[in-house]
Amino acid sequence: MSRQEKTETSVTERFNELFDKLEHCDEDEQKQKIEEMNEMINEMNKEEFKTVFTKEMFDKVDEMIEEKKLPLENAILLLKRIGFCKVLKGINIYGFNESSLEEKFKEIIYDENEKKDEEKDEKLLVDICECYFMFDNQFSSDMYPICAPCLLNVASSKEKKEEAQKKVEVALLALSNSSTVNNVGRKLFLEKIKEIIQYHQEHCNFTQLAYQSACQFLIKRFYNDKSLEKVIVNELHFAREARRELEELTKYVDWKRTEEEKERRKGRTEENIIMRWLKTLEFFFTGCHLWNEECSGLIGGIVQLFRIAKDNHGEICYWCICSLRSAAENRNVEIEDLLKGRAVDAVLEEMQRRTVDDEITVECLQFFKHISKRLKEEVNNEAMKVKRKKTKMEIFEKLEEEGYEDTITSFHEIFYFIEENFGCDISLNISDYFVNA
């Protein structure tokens, strides 16, 4: 097929055409076609993903495996690429959970796990566990104790060869997608993931995506176990490491690429890893109670990234603002650190150039609502009163100088519109967004 024909035929059509041919090919031909399909998966955007990877497609894969028209090994080659790109790009698809393929994978995992060590097919077990974690959105608690230790063992490899690093990366990416809601014991993962992260911090043996995934996996466990906070903040220095990684990733992004160039580079990019860090940071700020200098520095790192991305990458800009909004909402985050890190300046600046039909507008409004609410709260300690008064004056003067009142007033008339269109709970009282000296 010529380049022009490929351009005229959508990626979803080309993918489906090859998929339909798989059951009529021998194993080697299937592998060649799957290689082509995997390249197409890299190109797909979120809407294309949701169009192609449906319950019907997963059921068809199961049917072909069952009828021996598609060897399980070849099916895994295709499914792992779909899962990898799904998780990397943060795409939600639900067809797998509704399909017969999910039941087949669970049976394989149970069967392999029950075998004696010398009889187990370790590679198959790892492959199926990775697929299961990357696709599943429900995570039955009985699967977690089998899959998590299996993948953590893969991720514990200390080899620096590229092939070994790739295996570690895929295992950690799959783990990073595992649910936050299963209240499984820390014995299943804590010591192992600590060892994995600390070894990388000393030896730099991971890819950037693998390291981000390891940190994300641990932060998500924090959802049900707040006692992990000391490990995350004080032992693993999460805030310091996150800032360093964001700064490093930023160097490798061509921020001046056109939208067309971005479309052509949809695969595994630094931008995707940056967005994964930012989403993890939003999660971290929501529940963080320990606040130290490293956490304060992280605010400045997010603002620095925001300023680089704001004119060239709307999605990264959005997640920067989301992270700062979460920090403003958290009472353990010092408002002074938001000032010192120039978060107040950045959010105000962004709000002034936004339109009403924009999700970032909502995040900016929420940021200032939380700041205002916290500054209006009573404090009993005299030293705190003096500190609070100084902070309020500093923010008041900054907002007054930048014409903040006019900006909020211009938005107030459409607060009902924002609430209805974005399904968010914003205050309709305009005074809730003002800071009084």
What CATH number did the domain enclosing 278 receive?
A: 1.25.10.10
Domain assignment present for residue 282? The answer is: yes
Domain assignment present for residue 382? The answer is: yes
pLDDT in tens, 359-403: 888 889 899 999 999 998 888 888 888 988 999 999 999 888 888
Domain assignment present for residue 417? The answer is: yes
What is the chain's mean pLDDT, rounded?
88
Question: Cα separations (Å) of 309 from 173, 251, 371?
Answer: 25, 12, 24
pLDDT above 90 (res 207):
yes
Specify the higher pLDDT residue, 142 or 87.
Answer: 87
Domain assignment present for residue 107? The answer is: no
Q: What's the CA dihedral at 358, 363, 369, 375 to 10 degrees?
A: -140
| Predicted pLDDT of residue 95 | 93
pLDDT in tens, 92-127: 999 999 999 999 999 999 999 999 989 999 999 999
d(CA 395, CA 370): 13
| Predicted pLDDT of residue 4 | 43
pLDDT in tens, 403-418: 888 888 887 666 666 6
Domain assignment present for residue 188? The answer is: no
Overall pTM surpassing 0.85 (yes/no): yes
d(CA 201, CA 165): 15
Q: What is the mean pLDDT of residues 52-67?
A: 97
Angle between helices 415-422 and 404-412 (to 10 degrees): 70
| Predicted pLDDT of residue 424 | 65
Q: Are 147 and 127 in contact (CB under 8 A)?
A: no
Domain assignment present for residue 128? The answer is: no
Domain assignment present for residue 421? The answer is: yes
d(CA 145, CA 156): 17
- Half-sphere exposure of residue 303: CA atoms within 13 angstroms, side-chain side: 19
pLDDT above 80 (res 81):
yes
Domain assignment present for residue 84? The answer is: no
| Confidence at 200, pLDDT banded by 50, 70, 90 | very high
| Confidence at 1, pLDDT banded by 50, 70, 90 | very low
Q: What is the mean pLDDT of residues 227-248?
A: 94
| Predicted pLDDT of residue 169 | 97
| Predicted pLDDT of residue 428 | 72
Phi-psi region of 290 (alpha: psi -120 to 50; beta: other; left: phi over 0): beta
Give the tokens for residue 227. 């006692």
Where in the sequence is the domain holding 393, given as residue range(s)?
227-256+267-437
pLDDT in tens, 295-352: 999 999 999 999 999 888 889 999 999 999 999 999 999 999 999 999 999 999 888 8
pLDDT above 70 (res 422):
no
pLDDT above 60 (res 266):
no
| Predicted pLDDT of residue 2 | 44
| Predicted pLDDT of residue 51 | 95
| Predicted pLDDT of residue 17 | 96
Tokens 């004056």 identify what position? 393
d(CA 344, CA 389): 17
Q: What is the mean pLDDT of residues 196-212?
A: 94
If one counts the domains in the chain, the total is 1
